Amino acid sequence: MIRRVLLAILVVALAACPARTTPRRPQPLSAEAYARYFAGRLAMHDGAYARAITELTAAAAAAPDEAMIVVALIDAQARSGDRTAALETLREAERRWPRQPAVWLMGGEVHRAAGDHDEARQAFEHAIHLGRANEEAWIGLASSWLALNRPDRAEHAYRELLAVMPASVEGRFRLAVALIDRGAEPDAVPELRQVIELDPDHVDARLALALALRHRGELAEAILETRQAFDRTGGDLEIAEALFWLLCEADDRGAALDLLGLLDDPAAAVSTRLGLARLYEGLGALDDAVRLADAARIEAPDSTAAALGAAQARATRATGADRDDALALALAIPIASDDAPAARALAVELLIELGDPAKALDVITEARGERPDAVDLLAAEASARRAGGDVAGARALLARAAEAKPGSVARRYALASFERAVGEPARAAAIAAEILAAKPDHVGALNLTGFALAEAGVELDLAEDHLRRARELAPGDASILDSWGWLRFRQGELAEAEAALAHAARLAPHLAEIQTHLDAVRAARGR
């Protein structure tokens, strides 16, 4: 009896309780939906966005409750350039799945690609509101703030991301870049070190760290980080060149040559071997430069770049018949070629060295008739006129060209270089200063201004600022080291001047001007 009563009470109690709802488990996609979705993703991978839209539309019809299929469809529509369709699908997705972060994340991407950065910001913020541990949304938000010219808010977004996800490699790297951009490079160094600790193969972080370390004067560690980046990319040529110049800056010519030897592969592309030839040439390893350039020319006889490279290498070596061979190669390059202006300028230089400025002027006059706007040819004509004794005419030619196109940095630089070459350092510095007002990091203008001011013996502090910046931008450049040594000579720092000029002479033993400066400093020291 008691058992029956208890059973009745239990039945009544259960009836009074609200019914529990079983959580809906995600259902597997149907075969058709999966096949269509997979086909759509493959089409996107191939860049066939029209086909991707067709397949993903069919997949969405076969699985109407799957938000991620619609997200992929929005992506395909946006990539196809159909922004209207992408926005329509996006609005419908936001209505149907308002609590799906992926929908808002895609919305941010669509708006950002369309240039609607404030809309993108709001979408990314919505995605973060739905789930703060969303690295892509934080990165997107920061990118939107940058596009809205609010780097402070972007930096704040990176810091917020790292507060939620301290191991975010991308967030930490981007924070470091933001710090560098606002001039807080010392604060970026520990962030970059942590990025490398989290991801030892993060090449960009290593290169950024190397640059920061070089600016701090820690050249040995900068070289180590750059070498690590080089090794981790399997020998990336751009990183190899950066490492090469750092080794030159460290006065380690042997290591720089060893690096070039490591890259010296007969199976490499012609363009790669020409690049190596130029680096060999810069170090004064002229036989290697000629060997590589000649091999490239023989392998690619129709390449004007290979012909020009061979001509330049032979002209630099200039022993025996080299100069004549270089001249023939330079003159054989068709005037319509992209390489023709540099080739004709080289021919003019060789003819002047051979004591025939009249022929040089004939060659360049004909070339300028075909390519009147080429700055290399303009500068070469000025050199030919100057070699023939018409300095005033050469100056007037360059001045008229600069006035005709006042926005042309190349033309003004040609005029400044001419003034320096004819012994007018004050004029050269004044023109170079105009270039720097428009392009503060123009390495050539920085170097030219610094040297010209040192040569004139005026504004030596300004010359030092310019040359220090030039060395930061172009480490290991022998011509900049030469200017630095000459500045130190003018400042009375003879020991430092000799060290810098000897360094430059070791890097470029074939450049007579550097040796002349070094001899002058040694003579001043009684040596």
What are the residue ranges spanned by the domains of the chain?
A: 333-389
Residue 275 CA to residue 328 CA, distance in Å, equals 22
Distant-in-sequence, close-in-space partners of 41: CB < 8 Å, separation ≥ 6: 52, 72
97, 68 contact by CB (below 8 A): no
What are 325's two structure tokens? 């061979």
**Selection from 79, 75, 80 nearest residue 93 by Cα:** 75
| pLDDT value at residue 235 | 84
354 vs 347: CA distance, rounded Å: 10
pLDDT (0 to 100) of residue 419? 94
Which residue from 432, 484, 486, 501 is spatially nearest to 455, judged by alpha carbons? 486
Q: Using a pLDDT cut of 70, give the percent of the chain over it.
A: 94
Mean pLDDT for the stretch of residues 243-258: 95
Cβ of 437: how many Cβ atoms within 10 Å? 9
Give pLDDT, residue 384: 94
Does the pLDDT at position 13 exceed 50? no
Q: How confident is the model at residue 356 (pLDDT cuts 50, 70, 90)?
A: very high
Q: What is the pLDDT of residues 142-151, one digit of tens each?
A: 999 999 999 9
What average pLDDT does range 423-438 have in this prediction? 92
CA distance 197 to 180: 19
- In this structure, are residues 524 and 494 in contact, taking their beta carbons and an 8 Å threshold? yes
| C-alpha 515: how far from chain center | 33
Q: Is 285 exposed, middle or buried (0-12, 13-18, 19+ CB in 10 A)?
A: buried
Encoding tokens for residue 420?
């320096």
> Given CA atoms 101, 106, 109, 110 in this order, what sign does their dihedral have?
negative
Position 320 scores a pLDDT of 66
Across all residues in the chain, what is the average pLDDT?
A: 91
Q: In this predicted structure, what is the pLDDT of residue 318?
A: 75
Higher pLDDT, 10 or 315: 315
pLDDT on residue 28: 74
CA distance 462 to 452: 11
**Statement: residue 19 has pLDDT above 70:** no
pTM above 0.85, yes or no: no
Residue type, 409: V
| Mean pLDDT (whole number) for 307-322 | 85
- What's the token pair of residue 173? 């790297």
Handedness of CA 372, 374, 380, 383 (dihedral sign): positive
Query: How large a percentage of the chain has pLDDT more than 90?
Result: 84
| Cβ count near 394 (within 10 Å) | 23
DSSP for 188-235 reads HHHHHHHHHHH-TT-HHHHHHHHHHHHHTT-HHHHHHHHHHHHHHTTS
How many Cα neighbours within 13 Å face the side chain of 363? 29
Kindly tell me if the per-residue pLDDT of 8 is higher than 90. Answer: no
Position 10 confidence tier, pLDDT thresholds 50, 70, 90: very low
Q: Are 236 and 230 in contact (CB under 8 A)?
A: yes
pLDDT at 527: 79
- What pLDDT is stored for residue 6 in this prediction? 36
- What's the burial of 16, exposed, middle or buried (CB within 10 Å: 0-12/13-18/19+)? exposed
As separate numbers, helices (DSSP H) first and strands (DSSP E) second, the chain gives 30, 0
Q: Which of 371, 376, 370, 323 is nearest to 351 (CA)?
A: 323
How much is the average pLDDT of 324-330? 91
**Among the listed residues 124, 168, 119, the one whose alpha carbon sits nearest the alpha carbon of residue 142:** 124
Region 298-321 average pLDDT: 88
For the cut 70, the answer to whether the pLDDT of residue 3 exceeds it is: no
Q: So what's the pLDDT on residue 471?
A: 93
